[in-house]
Amino acid sequence: MIPSSFPSSEEIARLSARMLLEIQAVHFNAKEPFTLASGLPSPTYIDCRKLISYPRIRSTLMDFLTVTVMRNAGFEAFDNIAGGETAGIPFAALVAERMALPMTYVRKKPKGYGRNARIEGAMTEGERVLLVEDLTTDGGSKISFVDAIRDTGATCAHTAVIFYYGIFPETEKTLGDHGVTLHHLCTWWDVLAAAREMGSFDADTLHEVEAFLSDPRKWQEANKK
């Protein structure tokens, strides 16, 4: 069922951040930084995949994501909901159920046999597709998914994520230049504020995380091994 009432975007961001902290999807470690896919260090890591194991939080966040998209893009703006392989697939299914729309998913690359398809499910020319993912950092992976959707003759001008890093200024420009608008629930800044409010981490760790968020490239350069 489509939610009919919802809090402000600021309250959604605050509550979403608290929920991610509550299930320990957020990891801060300044002394032994995580290594990102880029090979660069980071004192922060988030695992949105954990959400699928927490039904109450999962349901609330999917309500939030659905109403955020409808509020920003329109109530009749889409014909199909596509999830990005793999993390976006369960969230796309949950959003599609709420919006009473068909669901599909997009492979990272053709499967290499059979139809050699990247789109699984029924997607047709002219459909307006919403791409759903768990998170976005710099927006790069979204471009590949959007292009695969557009190759079918469908359109894709919007992507929705639970979590947006919000620290790389080029992200929204990268997506915007490709004709894609980003919708999200919360960012690292929201999580940092919630972590301080909840006392989730010690003061030194939070201070180092804030230094990273304020200038991630400088922090990474200083902490390279």
Domain holding 23: CATH number? 3.40.50.2020
What would the mean pLDDT of 55-67 be, rounded to a whole number?
Answer: 96
**Domain-located, residue 2:** no
pLDDT at residue 30 tops 90: no
Question: Confidence class of residue 165 from pLDDT cuts 50, 70 and 90?
Answer: very high
In this predicted structure, what is the pLDDT of residue 4? 61
**Domain-located, residue 181:** yes
**What's the mean per-residue pLDDT of the chain?**
93
**Domain-located, residue 62:** yes
Q: At CB < 8 A and 24+ separation, what contacts does 94-100 make?
A: 94/58, 94/59, 94/62, 95/62, 95/65, 95/66, 95/69, 95/130, 95/132, 95/160, 98/1, 98/2, 98/3, 98/62, 98/63, 98/66, 99/2, 99/66, 99/70, 100/2
In this predicted structure, what is the pLDDT of residue 125? 97
The tally of domains found in the chain comes to 1
**What percent of the chain clears pLDDT 70, i.e. is strictly above it?**
96
**Per-residue pLDDT tens over the stretch 179-203:** 999 999 999 999 999 999 999 999 9
**Domain-located, residue 55:** yes
**Domain-located, residue 208:** yes
Q: Which domain holds residue 181?
A: 9-222
pLDDT at residue 212 tops 60: yes
**Per-residue pLDDT tens over the stretch 102-152:** 999 999 988 766 566 899 999 999 999 999 999 998 888 899 999 999 999
**Domain-located, residue 149:** yes
**Domain-located, residue 1:** no
**Domain-located, residue 193:** yes
